[in-house]
């Protein structure tokens, strides 16, 4: 059975004090590793080190929200894979809809980042998802196929073993409108089929596919209870332990 991954994407939120306090609360909730549920937090770059300190000795994993694909050098403002590793990151989120639609990242740029991160030994959470107008136009699966094909270009089966997919319909991000469990399951099933045809059924069956988009305490269990939903990538609700912990608890309950 695939493990659950419950990941908090803090986006451009928190400060040093509140980020460290939140990390310490998460560390207390996930003190020891559990077989079925991994907890991950992804703070902004400047807080990676103090958050890593606060997580020390716990089972909470650390991730970043983006990375640049070049090796260290003259790239003002950019952060390299080696630097994230040096700060204690195991994961990096790539292809998030805000990077795609606010910062204008293309599938080609995302793919370069994916390959650089994997080369450098980071696990990748590759985000894909359609806009509302694409869903309404019946284009959801086509958009997902294009983003998967672009993001995973030239990624071998062996390397892809370090990838987690996150399905985040753009219309559900930060809007309070969540995909129904059926909508999520249908997209996840489609993604798994895509993975089967690109790689193979064994590999596809092992890959974690997270759902993201207005995940909250009251919808977590029904979303995570879908057979192809292997966790959640949580934005707003990950900024307070009181709203994030119930999502972790929902995964723990389903795992039992």
- Give the residues lining the site for ligand 13P (CB under 6 A): 9, 96, 168, 173-174, 212-215, 233-237
Which is catalytic among the residues 105, 134, 168, 185? 168
Q: In angstroms, what is the minimal distance from the CB of 71 to ligand 13P? A: 27
Q: Which pairing describes strands 91-94 and 231-234: parallel, antiparallel, or unpaired? A: unpaired
96 is catalytic: yes
168 is catalytic: yes
How far apart, in whole angstroms, are the C-alpha atoms of residue 201 and residue 80? 33
List, in sequence order, every beta strand (DSSP E) within the chain.
Answer: 4-9, 37-42, 61-64, 91-94, 123-128, 163-167, 209-212, 231-234
SS3 per residue for 120-155: CCCEEEEEECCCHHHHHCCCHHHHHHHHHHHHCCCC
Of the two residues 213 and 231, which places its CB atom closer to ligand 13P in the complex?
213
Of the two residues 140 and 178, which places its CB atom closer to ligand 13P in the complex?
178
Q: In angstroms, what is the minimal distance from the CB of 197 to ligand 13P? A: 26
Of the two residues 199 and 239, which places its CB atom closer to ligand 13P in the complex?
239
> Of 96, 93, 31, 94, which is closest to residue 62 (Cα–Cα)?
93
Of the two residues 155 and 234, which places its CB atom closer to ligand 13P in the complex?
234
Q: In angstroms, what is the minimal distance from the CB of 239 to ligand 13P? A: 9
Which is catalytic among the residues 96, 105, 130, 134? 96
Chain residue at closest Cβ approach to ligand 13P: 235
> Of 161, 149, 94, which is closest to residue 126 (Cα–Cα)?
94
Q: In angstroms, what is the minimal distance from the CB of 32 to ligand 13P? A: 26
Instruction: Just list the catalytic residues.
Output: 96, 168
């Amino acid at each position: 059975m695939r493990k659950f991954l419950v990941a908090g994407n803090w986006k451009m939120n928190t400060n040093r004090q509140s980020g460290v306090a939140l990390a310490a609360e998460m560390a207390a909730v996930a003190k020891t590793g559990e077989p079925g549920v991994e907890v991950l937090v992804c703070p902004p770059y400047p807080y990676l080190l103090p958050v890593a300190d606060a997580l020390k000795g716990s089972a909470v994993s650390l991730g970043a929200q983006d990375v640049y694909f070049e090796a260290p050098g003259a790239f003002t403002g950019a952060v390299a894979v080696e630097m994230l590793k040096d700060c204690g990151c195991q994961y990096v989120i790539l292809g998030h809809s805000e990077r795609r639609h606010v910062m204008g990242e293309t599938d080609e740029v995302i793919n370069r980042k994916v390959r650089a991160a994997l080369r450098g030994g980071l696990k990748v959470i590759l985000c894909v998802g359609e806009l509302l107008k694409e869903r309404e136009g019946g284009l959801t699966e086509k958009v997902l196929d294009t983003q998967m094909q672009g993001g995973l270009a030239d990624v071998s089966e062996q390397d892809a073993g370090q990838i987690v997919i996150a399905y985040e319909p753009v219309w559900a991000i930060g809007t309070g409108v969540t995909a129904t469990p059926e909508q999520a399951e249908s997209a996840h099933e489609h993604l798994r089929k895509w993975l089967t045809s690109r790689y193979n059924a064994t590999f596809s069956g092992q890959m974690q596919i997270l759902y993201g988009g207005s995940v909250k305490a009251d919808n977590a269990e029904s979303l995570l209870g879908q057979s192809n939903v292997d966790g959640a990538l949580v934005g707003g609700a990950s900024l307070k332990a009181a709203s994030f912990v119930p999502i972790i608890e929902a995964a723990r309950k389903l795992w039992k």
